[in-house]
Chains A and B, each alone.
Chain A
Amino acid sequence: MMKRTIEPFWWSLFGAGGTLAALFIPITLFINGLAIPLGWLAAPDYENVLQMARHPLARTYLFLLISLSFYHWAHRFRFTLYDGLQLKHLNLLIAVICYGGATVGTVAAAYTLINL
C-alpha cells in the first residue's frame, strides 16, 4: 500500500474554484462593484434581486462560487507562503490557517444562503 496524500483533494478544490472564479468573478465584480455604484447600469429592483437569489439554482451557484473561491485562495496562498517566503517549516500552521479560513468562509456562505 503506497503512502496516501491528501493533496489531490485540495488540488481539486483549488482547480474547481480557479475555474469558477476565472469565468464568473470578473463580470460579477465589474457589475456590482463598479458599473452599478458608478451609475453605468441601473441598480436592479431589490425584490427582483432577492427573488432571483432565492432560486435553488442561484443559491447553489452562489454557494459554489463563493466557497470554492475561498478554497482556491487557500491552496494557492499556502504554496505562495511556502515558496515565496520560504516558510515550509510552518507547514502545518499555514495549512490550518488557509484551509481553516476557507472552511469558516464556506460555513458562513452556507448559513447566509440558507437564510436568504
Chain B
Amino acid sequence: MAVESLAGNVSETPATGQTVTLEVFRYRPEEETEPVYQAYEVPVHKDWVVLDALNHIKDHLDGTLSYRWSCRMGVCGSCGMMVNGDARLTCATFVESLLPGPIRVEPLENFPVVRDLVIEMTDFMEKLESVKPWIIRDEEKPLEDGEYLQTPAQLADFEQFSMCINCLLCYAACPVYGLEPGFTGPAVIALAQRYNLDSRDQGAGERNAVLDTDEGIWQCTLVGECSEVCPKDVDPAAAIQRYKVSSTLQWYRNLLMPWSSK
C-alpha cells in the first residue's frame, strides 16, 4: 500500500502484543446530524503516538476516517485534537502514556466540525489577519540604506511569541473563546505581540485598535490553559497579561495627559 510506506518506518517499530481501544469522534454530515463515537481496536507499537494509531485505522481498518496531519514532528501544527479531553498534538502524544485506554479522540473544541476530526478554522484565519501579523513601517527606508538591524537582546523581547505554529490548541483549551466566539483569542494576541515587541515594527497603534477592546485582551479572564497546552511554550496568557498592563498604563497616561494622545 502506498499510504503505508509514508508512515513506514514508524509502523515497523516492534508491536508490544498489547492492543488499545480508540474511541474516535465520527461526524459524517451526509449520514448523521449528531456525532457518534466509533471504537477501533489498535495494536500498540513501541513509541507509537496517537497519530500513528489513527494512521493505522485509516490504512488498515477504516479508510473513511477523516483528520488532518502532515509533518509528524510537531512543526506543522495540523494534527491538533482532543485526546482524552485535553488539547494535544497527536504526533507528540504517546499511546503508551495513555494505556490501558480506552483513548478518546475528538476534534478540537470550540470550533465547528466539518467531518470527523476535521475542524473549520476560518474564524481564526480572519482574526489573525485582522492584527496584521507582519512588520509595519511608517515609512520604508530605501533599499540602499541596508537592512533593519536588531540586537540579540531585541530579538529576545519577542522570540518566544514567534514560535507559534497556529495549531489552535490554545483556542480549544480556552473556555472564554468557547463562550464568546468573538474573542480575538490567545494565539492571535500572542502573534500580535510578536510584532508589537519587534524593534523593527511601528504598527502597534494599528493593532491596538483591534486588541485594546472588549473583544480583544479585555475578554480574557486568565484561565491560563492556553499556556498549559501550548506545544511551543509560547505562553499566550503572559502575552495577554502584559498587554493588559501596558494598555492600562497607556489608559492612565491618556487620562492624565489627554494632549499627549493622538
| A/B contact in complex, CB under 8 angstroms | yes
The chain A residues found within 8 Å of chain B, CB to CB, are 1-3, 5, 7-9, 11-12, 15, 79, 82-83, 86, 88
Taking A79-B221, A83-B221 as contacts, is the C-beta distance between A11 and B213 under 8 angstroms?
Answer: no
* Nearest CB of A to B156, in Å: 26
Contact A9 B251 (CB under 8 A): yes
Complex alpha-carbon distance, A2 and B218, angstroms = 15
Of A7, A9, A12, A79, the most chain B CB neighbours within 10 A belong to A7
Interface size, B (range): 10 to 19
Q: How far is the CB of A40 from chain B (nearest CB, A)?
A: 36
Contact: B180 with A7, CB < 8 Å?
A: no
Question: How far apart sit A63 and B212, CA to CA, in the bound complex (Å)?
Answer: 31
Nearest B residue to A83 via CB reads B179
A5 touches B248 (CB 8 A): no
Supplied contacts A2-B212, A8-B248, A83-B175, 4 more A-B pairs, CB within 8 Å = A5-B213, A9-B251, A11-B218, A83-B179
Which chain B residues border A11 with CB–CB below 8 Å?
A: 218, 244, 248
Chain B residue at minimal CB-CB distance from A10: B218
Contacts of B179 in A (CB 8 A): 82-83, 86, 88
* B202-239 vs A, Cβ < 8 Å mask (1 yes, 0 no): 00000011001110001001000000000000000000
Are B218 and A5 in contact, CB atoms less than 8 angstroms apart?
Answer: yes
B148 at the A interface (CB under 8 A): no
Contact with A along B160-181 (1 / 0, CB 8 A): 0000000000000001100110
* Consensus secondary structure, chain A interface: helix
| B66 contacts across to A, CB distance below 8 A | none
Cα A95 to Cα B29 in complex, Å, equals: 42
Question: Which A residue's beta carbon lies closest to that of B244?
Answer: A11
Contact partners of B252 in chain A: CB under 8 A: 8, 12
Q: Which residues of B contact A3 (CB under 8 A)?
A: 209, 213
Q: B128-151 interface mask toward A, CB cutoff 8 Å, 1 = contact, 0 = none?
A: 000000000000000000000000
Bound-state Cα–Cα, A82 to B223, Å: 14
Asked whether any CB of chain A lies closer than 8 Å to the CB of B247, the reply is yes
* Contact status B176-A83, CB under 8 Å: yes
Does B176 contact A5, Cβ atoms closer than 8 Å? no
Q: Whole-angstrom distance from the CB of B161 to the nearest CB of chain A?
A: 21
- A–B Cβ pairs within 8 angstroms, 16 of them: A2-B209, A2-B212, A3-B213, A5-B212, A5-B213, A5-B218, A7-B218, A8-B218, A8-B247, A8-B248, A8-B250, A8-B251, A11-B218, A11-B244, A15-B248, A79-B221
A12 engages B248 (CB within 8 Å): yes
A81 to B166, CA, bound (A): 31
Chain B residues with CB under 8 Å of A88's CB are 179-180
Measured CA separation A82–B220 after assembly (Å): 12
Nearest residue (CB) in A for B212 is A5
Among residues of B, the one whose C-beta sits closest to the C-beta of A82 is: B179
Contacts of A7 in B (CB 8 A): 214, 218
